[in-house]
Amino acid sequence: MKNPIFCLVFLFCALGATAQNATEKTPAQTATEQLTKLYNLNQKQQGEMLKIQERKYRNLEEIEPIKTSNPALYQRKIQSIQSGNNASFERILTAEQNKTLRQQQLQLREKKALAYKEMKSSGAPQQDIDRKMMELDLEAL
């Protein structure tokens, strides 16, 4: 008698946990929704964009251990991920959507140039400048 009741209770708990996970969005899904609004993506593009975002978050997770142990390598890997994302974006976007992408890239370059100029004029060490550039790259990802 106890076994069937225990099985039912366990089944309901498992279904409740599954239902909770189904409603929570992954970071890749959230990013895809934001990019869908920004670029006005169609269904096919949304599917491709979700794959790109999942790959991005998987790559970021893989390089997380070297963040503190090898900051220079971490920064190069961040730039590589960003470059790969941009190439993937260009591949799936239409000509009109690519204009928006280029505007976003230009804004990032201008933001980085301004931050670099400000930090350099204030006498900040190169390590701090590099860290700030990496932070801006991470924000843009």
pLDDT of the residue at 19: 47
Average pLDDT of the chain?
A: 85
Number of domains forming the structure of the chain: 1
Does any domain span residue 136?
A: yes
Q: Are 52 and 88 in contact (CB under 8 A)?
A: yes
Question: From residue 10, how far is each of 7, 18, 21, 129 by CA, in Å?
Answer: 5, 12, 17, 54
Domain assignment present for residue 41? The answer is yes
The reply to whether 48 falls in a domain is yes
**Which range marks the domain in which residue 127 is found?**
28-140
Is residue 79 in a domain? yes
What confidence score (pLDDT) does residue 67 get?
A: 87
- The residue ranges of the chain whose pLDDT is under 70 are 1-22
Q: pTM for the complete prediction? A: 0.75
Report the chain's C-alpha Rg in angstroms: 21
The rounded distance, in Å, linking the Cα atoms of 102 and 62 is 28
Task: Give the long-range contacts of residues 87-96, CB within 8 A, separation 24 or more.
Answer: 88/48, 88/52, 89/49, 89/52, 92/45, 92/48, 92/49, 92/52, 93/39, 93/45
Name the residue type at position 6: F
| SS3 at position 141 | coil
User: Is 9 inside any structural domain?
Assistant: no
Q: Residue 12 falls within a domain, yes or no? A: no
Q: Do the domain assignments include residue 17?
A: no
